[in-house]
Amino acid sequence: METFDRPLPAGADWTIPQDWDRYTAAEHAVWDTLFERQAKLLEGRVATEFVDGLDVLRMERPGIPHFGKLSERLMKLTGWEVIAVPGLIPDDVFFDHLANRRFVSGNFIRSPQQQDYLQEPDVFHDVFGHVPLLTHPVFADYMQAYGLGGRRAVALGAIKNLARLYWYTVEFGLIRHDRDLRIYGAGIVSSRSESVFALDDQSPNRIGFNLERVMRTKYRIDDYQQNYFVIDSFDDLLRQTLDTDFAPIYQRLARQPDIEIDTILSGDLVYSQGTHNRARARLAQE
Ligand code: HBI
Ligand code: FE
């Protein structure tokens, strides 16, 4: 994330006005289509906490939510607000917003031609994907803790390790639900194809969450994940992170090799060992 080719916004905090009035009817329609499609697909697949949180977005329908109004609701629930940014922002600025319970969202929405994949986080990924869980008090605290931890990781030169924690929880996390697994990561819930793949496909590993294991594991940004890590509950996630001093962990991690994307370790709690067929097939095509 070295280059930022968008024009620098006015503030040093990278925020911009949402400009809600500027959305066209076609843009609101993209939101509505994606919202209905995902809400239906996620029934029985997503964490119940996410389903409960979706109500806060339903209240803003139809169309792309107005961040000011959405923030009023969210503020009452967990003290979070949603603010607009032009796209990806520098790590330290991102952490600072989270540490202050401000969730940043892209203000633009994907085009109808890009309905299934895009690189930069748009308002559908950011708001549909992330905001529902921000209504949950424990998850809301976890996100703030991540922001505070981010500041420390910058100082300790350990962003790479901490970013993996974000990736494998907030973006691509799975959670136990009775005897099954369910989705809670925003990168999965906002993707039609990955919300099926992450739970049903034979290809990826599904492994019990362990903080140090996760922070050592590489990930891919160009395709579906080859590892998903499974938490027992949000309380458990918060316990494994908030009550932990990361400084000695970072020191240990600096002396250990990264874990390759298709590796299973002897200490892993394996929910399913992946075939990695999808990754192999893709490699063969190249
Ligand atoms: N900026 N807008 C935006 N959204 C993100 O999710 C984001 C970001 N900047 C940095 C970042 N995420 C991550 O690299 C950190 O979690 C490490
Ligand atoms: Fe995201």
CA dist 114 and 251 (Å) reads: 42
CA of 257 to the centre of ligand 2 (A): 27
Residue nearest to atom 16 of ligand 1 (CA): 163
Q: What pLDDT score was predicted for residue 1?
A: 43
CA dist 228 and 286 (Å) reads: 25
C-beta of 121 in contact with ligand 1 (< 6 A): yes
Residue 146 located in a structural domain? yes
The pick from 3, 16, 89, 152 for probing ligand 1's pocket by mutation, whose C-beta has the most ligand atoms within 8 angstroms, reads 89
Residue 9 has pLDDT above 80, yes or no: no
Residue 93 located in a structural domain? yes
CB 13 within 8 A of CB 95: no
- List pLDDT tens digits, range 91-103: 999 999 999 999 9
pTM for this predicted structure: 0.94
CA of 227 to the centre of ligand 1 (A): 20
Range of the domain at 189: 20-285
- List pLDDT tens digits, range 79-89: 999 999 998 99
Residue 6 located in a structural domain? no
Ion ligand 2 nearby residues (CB, 5 A): 186
Proximal ligand: closest to the CA of 107: 1
CATH number of the domain that residue 263 is part of: 1.10.800.10
- List pLDDT tens digits, range 164-209: 999 999 999 999 999 999 999 999 999 999 999 999 999 999 999 9
CA dist 202 and 272 (Å) reads: 8
CA of 162 to the centre of ligand 1 (A): 12
Residue nearest to atom 13 of ligand 1 (CA): 91
Q: Which atom of ligand 1 approaches the CA of 89 most closely?
A: 1
Residue 162 located in a structural domain? yes
Residue 247 located in a structural domain? yes
Least-confidence region, from 98-102, 114-118, 130-134, 255-259: 114-118
C-beta of 13 in contact with ligand 1 (< 6 A): no
Q: What pLDDT score was predicted for residue 125?
A: 96
Q: Which atom of ligand 1 approaches the CA of 104 most closely?
A: 2
φ, ψ at 227 (rounded to 5°): -135, 135
CA dist 265 and 109 (Å) reads: 40
Could you give the number of structural domains in the chain? 1
157 phi-psi bin (left φ>0, alpha ψ -120 to 50, beta other): left
C-beta of 127 in contact with ligand 1 (< 6 A): no
Residue 6 has pLDDT above 90, yes or no: no
Residue 1 located in a structural domain? no
Residue 54 located in a structural domain? yes
Residue 12 located in a structural domain? no
Residue 3 has pLDDT above 70, yes or no: no
CA of 284 to the centre of ligand 1 (A): 32
Using alpha carbons, select from 18, 23, 6, 163 the residue that is nearest to residue 81.
18
